[in-house]
């Protein structure tokens, strides 16, 4: 039964990776029900499943449900009552969901903790994801200087780990466009978003 469950989790994750998030969410829900029935609803495997299920729901535009799953995954991972064993990626995913719910101070707190943890272990992908989410949080909160500084750090990190022309630079140009718009610079925003589109194409 456990091997069958592992396969069903792999199928659900394959749906998610292929962009079929509706099918992924349904498959994750079914897999979690089976996992709980086996008495493994509080295991590391359960935490991974909850995180990936939450990601699928987040992409589907269901951040409130995603937040609940991420929080449950954090609780499962906090076996000693602390966040010591909680992955920085999971903390950042929770922060991202909270950003979508416009709970900005709480979102910033989770993403900043994710960043600090990722820095300590040298996890560049999570560092970049955290910086990207934090840029948006600070911009939405009206702290435009902090958003700009965070975006500059993100660009510097991406330049170190991905090749020129990578889609990540399109995402950064899009962030710069939104930041320019927040500052009232429509012409600068247009130039940046056109650059983002060119990179994406």
Tell me which of 35-49, 89-103, 136-150 is least confident.
Answer: 35-49
Confidence of residue 102 (pLDDT cuts 50, 70, 90): very high
Maximum Cα–Cα distance across the chain:
59
Burial class (CB in 10 A: 0-12, 13-18, 19+), 191: middle
Considering the chain, what percentage of its residues have pLDDT values greater than 70? 100
What is the distance between the alpha carbons of residues 138 and 180, in angstroms, rounded to a whole number?
Answer: 14
Extract the tokens encoding 18: 């292929």
Percent of the chain clearing pLDDT 90 (strictly above): 86
Average pLDDT over residues 57-82: 92
CA atoms within 13 A on the CB side of 51: 22
d(CA 154, CA 157): 5
Q: Is the pLDDT assigned to residue 80 strictly greater than 90? A: no
Give the residue from 118, 122, 124 showing the smallest Cα distance to 162: 124
Residue 15 confidence class, pLDDT cut points 50, 70, 90: very high
Does position 82 have pLDDT exceeding 80, yes or no?
A: no
Other CB atoms within a 10 A radius of the CB of residue 167 amount to: 11
Quote the CA–CA distance of 166 and 191 in Å, as a whole number: 19
Confidence of residue 167 (pLDDT cuts 50, 70, 90): very high
| pLDDT greater at residue 136 or residue 85 | 136
- Mean pLDDT of the region 130-150: 97
| 110-116 own/partner pairs: CB under 8 Å, 24+ apart | 111/137, 113/83, 113/88, 114/88, 114/89, 115/88
Residue 42: pLDDT above 90? Answer: no
Task: Please give the model's pTM, rounded to 2 decimal places.
Answer: 0.90
pLDDT of residue 41: 85
Do the beta carbons of residue 145 and residue 122 sit within 8 Å? no
Q: What is the mean pLDDT of the chain?
A: 94
pLDDT at 78: 85
């Amino acid at each position: 039964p456990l091997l069958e469950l592992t396969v069903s989790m792999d199928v659900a994750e394959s749906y998610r990776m292929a962009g079929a998030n509706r099918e992924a969410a349904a498959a994750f829900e079914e897999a979690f029900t089976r996992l709980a029935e086996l008495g493994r609803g509080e295991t590391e495997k359960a935490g991974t499943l909850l995180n990936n299920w939450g990601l699928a729901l987040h992409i589907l535009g269901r951040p409130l449900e995603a937040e609940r799953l991420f929080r449950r995954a954090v609780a499962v991972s906090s076996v000693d009552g602390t966040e010591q064993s909680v992955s920085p990626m999971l903390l950042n995913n929770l922060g991202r969901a909270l950003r979508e719910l416009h709970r900005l101070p709480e979102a910033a707190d989770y993403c900043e903790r994710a960043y600090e943890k990722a820095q300590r272990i040298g996890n560049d992908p999570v560092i970049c994801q955290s910086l990207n989410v934090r840029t948006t949080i600070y911009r939405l909160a009206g702290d435009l200087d902090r958003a700009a500084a965070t975006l500059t750090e993100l660009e510097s990190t991406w330049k170190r780990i991905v090749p020129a022309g990578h889609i990540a630079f399109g995402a950064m140009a899009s962030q710069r466009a939104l930041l320019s718009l927040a500052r009232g610079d429509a012409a600068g925003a247009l130039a940046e978003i056109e650059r983002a589109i060119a990179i994406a194409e």
